[in-house]
Amino acid sequence: MKVKITLDSASWEADLSKGVDVSIPIQGGGRGVRCWWVDYPSVKPFQQGDFIGSVKAGAPVNFNDIAFNPHAHGTHTECMGHITAEEESILSHPPPPWMLAQLVSVTPEVKQEDRIVTRSGLRQVLAETLPEAVILRTLPNPESKQNKEYSGSNPPYLEADAASWLCQKGVLHLLLDLPSVDREEDGGLLAAHKAFWDIPKAPRPGATITELIYVPDEVPDGMYLLNLQMAAFENDASPSRPILFPLKPKME
31-46 per-position pLDDT tens digit: 999 999 999 999 999 9
Q: How far is CA 233 from CA 55, 65, 69, 73, 74, in A?
A: 28, 16, 12, 15, 15
**Quick check: 8 pLDDT over 80?**
no
Quote the mean pLDDT of the chain: 95
pLDDT at residue 9 in the model: 65
| 65 assigned to some structural domain | no
Task: Kindly indicate the confidence band of residue 228, based on its pLDDT and cuts at 50, 70 and 90.
Answer: very high
Question: What's the whole-number mean pLDDT along residues 115-138?
Answer: 96
pLDDT at residue 249 in the model: 77
| 160 assigned to some structural domain | yes
pLDDT per residue over 25-84, tens digit each?
999 989 999 999 999 999 999 999 999 999 999 999 999 999 999 999 999 999 999 999
| 50 assigned to some structural domain | no
Question: What's the whole-number mean pLDDT along residues 224-252?
Answer: 92
Task: Kindly indicate the confidence band of residue 7, based on its pLDDT and cuts at 50, 70 and 90.
Answer: low
| 37 assigned to some structural domain | no
Q: 34 and 149 in contact (C-beta within 8 Å)?
A: yes
Task: Kindly indicate the confidence band of residue 128, based on its pLDDT and cuts at 50, 70 and 90.
Answer: confident
Domain count for the chain: 1
| 41 assigned to some structural domain | no
Q: How far is CA 11 from CA 52, 223, 245, in A?
A: 55, 11, 14
**Quick check: 191 pLDDT over 80?**
yes
pLDDT per residue over 83-105, tens digit each?
999 999 999 999 999 999 999 99
| 22 assigned to some structural domain | yes
**Quick check: 252 pLDDT over 60?**
no
pTM of the model: 0.95
| 169 assigned to some structural domain | yes
Q: CATH number for the domain including 159? A: 3.50.30.50
Q: What percent of the chain has pLDDT over 70?
A: 97
Range of the domain at 80: 2-27+70-249
d(CA 141, CA 82): 27
| 42 assigned to some structural domain | no
